């Protein structure tokens, strides 16, 4: 994956986390505030506009009723009522008027300023009842009839309907005023408030983005610094500015990084000192150990001529001296791996020949079954391959059960199938025994240094370094070793996998001489 793609993914992840939450919170707060303010402003303006229009129309109508309708004669005719209604409708409030009287008992007569626009049928029934209902007069009520009003809708448009009655047999009057203009004005106001709300929301999003950038920039720097620190750049520090919480966090990070750098430096120094001590100790032991080995070889040659009481002690000295020599050699090898000075001397070899030579050199031919065809070539270090095989096969013979089976195969890089062609891919060497297997609690530790499965056998013949050295030799080739129990429960299986770069096929016309090996240093 390219660096640009990784940066894009990290940016996307950041956007979907804290940055997005900040923007959403800002937007929700701004939207709530804007909607609340717009709603309150709309409601207040609506009530103000409607109340002003309504009060103006009702006050004018009341005055017209007291001035025009009250002067009409009793039992006014339809023409008189209509003339009065038309005159009343010409006022500044701009409404239609309907006057209803009686020309005789039980015979109502009506006059309308605009019969096509407003008739008695347009008056709500409840308003009719309220207007015609006579109220009891008293200390708190001096008028038997009151003016009532109601807002209605007709054909989707709002109207104001009001009415009152003149006392002492006067006519009953109703006004009918359209509130369509006021409704349009209020709709315009609503659109304006909606646009203002949208602008406030957009502005809050921009402010949230700016605030998020301000907040997240030091957080991002802290994340990058922590990532570099985790990758081993222990000298990473943050530039601290300000006195806020983020600045305090940066100071804490710097103190933590400084303390971690010091501890790692101390640990590295102690580790280096320990490696140097082991290397020096192993080197110093080699000289007296060489002398001891020479003496033990002489004693081993003369053991048959020694007193039978002394012979067991001599045999013990010989075996322990050899064990000590192996341990020193293993320690020297381990220190070379730890110091990064181990090198491989690569050569193109026939793997089957190398495995056969390893088994034959240790007289394991009777205990090992070999499944390896000649002609599988690989470029590797023969000495280190011998060390790996000796440790794996020796471990299987010592702790497993016979027979031990060693199989060698080359895996095709394209199909994954077994192939003898020298086309690269992977070399796989499998060592399987027929013993009780490896306990599950031991499996994770079989390649640990100085690890022994049985704590009751601290002086067992092995040093506990063999498998760990085998793994290091595999790693230095770029390969791996894995340990597992056989699926059928019959023994343990160790699998060595080594990369197999293109190796030249053996030349049948060659004189049998191996090419000069080239030395390559590998950390």
Region 214-238 average pLDDT: 83
Please report whether residue 110 resides in a domain.
Answer: yes
**257/358 same-domain check:** no
pLDDT in tens, 67-112: 877 778 877 888 888 888 888 888 777 888 888 887 777 688 888 8
How many angstroms separate the CA atoms of 312 and 430, rounded? 39
Residue with tokens 């998020």: 212
How many angstroms separate the CA atoms of 435 and 425, rounded? 31
* 170 or 498, greater pLDDT: 498
CB-based contacts of 482, cutoff 8 Å, min separation 6: 494, 495, 497
Please report whether residue 276 resides in a domain.
Answer: yes
Residue 417: what pLDDT?
Answer: 59
Please report whether residue 377 resides in a domain.
Answer: yes
Please report whether residue 327 resides in a domain.
Answer: no
**482/367 same-domain check:** yes
**167/273 same-domain check:** no
**Most confident among 334-343, 423-432, 437-446 (mean pLDDT):** 437-446
What's the chain's average pLDDT?
A: 79
Residue 406: what pLDDT?
Answer: 93
**298/446 same-domain check:** no
Residue 427: is its pLDDT beyond 70? yes
Residue 495: is its pLDDT beyond 90? yes
Residue 424: what pLDDT?
Answer: 59
**249/395 same-domain check:** no
Q: How many CB atoms lie within 10 A of CB 148?
A: 18
pLDDT in tens, 246-304: 788 888 988 988 898 888 888 888 777 766 766 676 667 777 777 777 877 777 777 77
How many angstroms separate the CA atoms of 499 and 522, rounded? 15
pLDDT in tens, 308-328: 777 788 788 777 777 777 777
Residue 6: what pLDDT?
Answer: 52
**376/473 same-domain check:** yes
Q: Residue 518's pLDDT band (boundaries 50, 70, 90)?
A: very low
pTM here is: 0.46
Which of 266, 294, 312 finishes a domain?
Answer: 312
Please report whether residue 104 resides in a domain.
Answer: yes
Specify whether the CB–CB gap between 429 and 355 falls below 8 A. Answer: yes
- H or E element that contains 153: strand 148-154
Q: Which two tokens stand for residue 394?
A: 């020796």
Q: In terms of residues, how long is the chain?
A: 523
**292/384 same-domain check:** no
Least confident stretch, 102-106, 159-163, 206-210, 381-385: 102-106
CB-based contacts of 165, cutoff 8 Å, min separation 6: 131, 132, 145, 171, 172, 173
- Output the CA torsion 299→302→305→307 (10° steps): 10
How many angstroms separate the CA atoms of 219 and 322, rounded? 61
Region 175-192 average pLDDT: 85
pLDDT in tens, 451-474: 766 543 444 455 677 888 888 889
Residue 12: is its pLDDT beyond 50? no
Please report whether residue 29 resides in a domain.
Answer: yes
How many angstroms separate the CA atoms of 9 and 23, rounded? 20
Please report whether residue 318 resides in a domain.
Answer: no
Which of 312, 332, 365 finishes a domain?
Answer: 312
Residue 496: what pLDDT?
Answer: 93
How many angstroms separate the CA atoms of 207 and 29, rounded? 12
Residue 115: is its pLDDT beyond 80? yes
**308/348 same-domain check:** no
**504/421 same-domain check:** yes
Residue 381: is its pLDDT beyond 60? yes
Specify the CATH number for the domain of residue 498: 3.30.565.10
Reference 182, options 353, 51, 279, 72; nearest CA is 51
Specify the CATH number for the domain of residue 95: 3.30.450.20
* 24 or 393, greater pLDDT: 393
Burial of residue 152 (CB within 10 Å: 0-12, 13-18, 19+) is: middle
Query: What's the Cα-to-Cα distance from 53 to each of 62, 177, 181, 483, rounded to whole Å?
Result: 14, 10, 10, 94
Residue 128: is its pLDDT beyond 60? yes
CB-based contacts of 238, cutoff 8 Å, min separation 6: 221, 222, 225, 250, 253, 254
**356/463 same-domain check:** yes
Please report whether residue 199 resides in a domain.
Answer: no
Instruction: Specify the 3-state DSSP secondary structure of 242.
Output: coil
Residue 61: is its pLDDT beyond 60? yes
**368/471 same-domain check:** yes
Residue 4: is its pLDDT beyond 70? no
Q: How many domains does the chain have?
A: 3
**Angle CA 387–395–361, to nearest 5:** 50
> Considering the chain, what percentage of its residues have pLDDT values greater than 90?
8
Residue 2: what pLDDT?
Answer: 53
Residue 482: what pLDDT?
Answer: 92
**40/120 same-domain check:** yes
Residue 513: what pLDDT?
Answer: 43
Residue 250 domain boundaries? 245-312
């Amino acid at each position: 994956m390219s660096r640009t793609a990784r940066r894009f993914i990290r940016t996307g992840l950041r956007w979907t986390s804290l940055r997005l939450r900040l923007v959403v919170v800002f937007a929700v707060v701004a939207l709530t505030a804007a909607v609340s303010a717009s709603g309150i402003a709309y409601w207040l303006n609506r009530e103000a506009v409607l109340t002003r229009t309504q009060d103006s129309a009702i006050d004018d109508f009341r005055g017209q009723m007291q001035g025009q309708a009250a002067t009409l004669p009793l039992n006014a005719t339809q023409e008189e009522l209509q003339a009065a209604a038309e005159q009343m409708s010409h006022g500044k409030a701009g409404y239609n008027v309907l006057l209803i009287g009686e020309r005789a008992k039980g015979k109502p007569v009506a006059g309308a300023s605009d019969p096509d626009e407003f008739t008695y049928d347009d008056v709500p029934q409840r308003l009719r009842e309220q207007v015609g209902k006579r109220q009891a007069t008293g200390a708190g009520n001096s008028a038997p009839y009151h003016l009532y009003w109601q807002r209605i809708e007709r054909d989707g448009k709002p109207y104001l309907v009001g009415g009152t009655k003149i006392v002492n047999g006067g006519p009953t009057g109703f006004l009918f005023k359209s509130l369509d203009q006021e409704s349009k004005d209020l709709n315009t106001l609503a659109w304006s408030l909606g646009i203002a709300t949208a602008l406030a929301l957009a502005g809050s999003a921009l402010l949230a983005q700016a605030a998020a950038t301000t907040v997240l920039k030091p957080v991002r720097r802290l994340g990058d610094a922590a990532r570099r620190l985790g990758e081993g750049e222990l000298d990473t520090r943050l530039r601290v500015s300000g006195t806020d919480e983020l600045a305090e966090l940066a100071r804490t990070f710097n103190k933590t990084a400084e303390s971690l750098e010091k501890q790692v430096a101390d640990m590295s120094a102690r580790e280096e000192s320990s490696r140097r001590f082991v290397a020096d100790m192993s080197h110093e032991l080699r000289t007296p150990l060489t002398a001891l080995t020479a003496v033990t070889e002489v004693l081993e040659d003369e053991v048959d001529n020694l007193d039978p009481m002394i012979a067991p002690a001599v045999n013990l000295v010989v075996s322990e001296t050899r064990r000590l020599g192996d341990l020193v050699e293993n320690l020297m090898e381990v220190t070379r791996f730890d110091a990064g000075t181990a090198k491989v001397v690569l050569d193109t070899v026939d793997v089957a020949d190398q495995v056969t030579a390893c088994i034959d050199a240790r007289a394991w031919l009777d205990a090992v079954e070999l499944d390896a065809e000649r002609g599988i070539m690989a470029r590797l270090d023969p000495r280190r391959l011998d060390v790996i095989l000796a440790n794996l096969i020796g471990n299987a013979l010592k702790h497993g059960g016979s027979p031990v089976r060693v199989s060698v195969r080359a895996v095709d890089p394209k199909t994954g199938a077994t192939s003898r062609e020298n086309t690269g891919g992977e070399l796989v060497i499998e060592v399987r025994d027929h013993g009780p297997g490896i306990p599950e609690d031991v499996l994770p530790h079989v390649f640990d240094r100085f690890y022994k499965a049985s704590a009751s056998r601290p002086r067992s013949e092995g040093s506990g370094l063999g498998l760990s050295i085998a793994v290091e030799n595999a790693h230095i080739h770029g390969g791996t070793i894995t340990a597992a129990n056989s699926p059928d429960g019959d023994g343990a299986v160790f699998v060595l996998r080594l990369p197999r770069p293109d190796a030249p096929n053996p030349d049948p016309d060659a004189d049998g001489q191996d090419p000069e090996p080239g030395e390559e240093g590998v950390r």
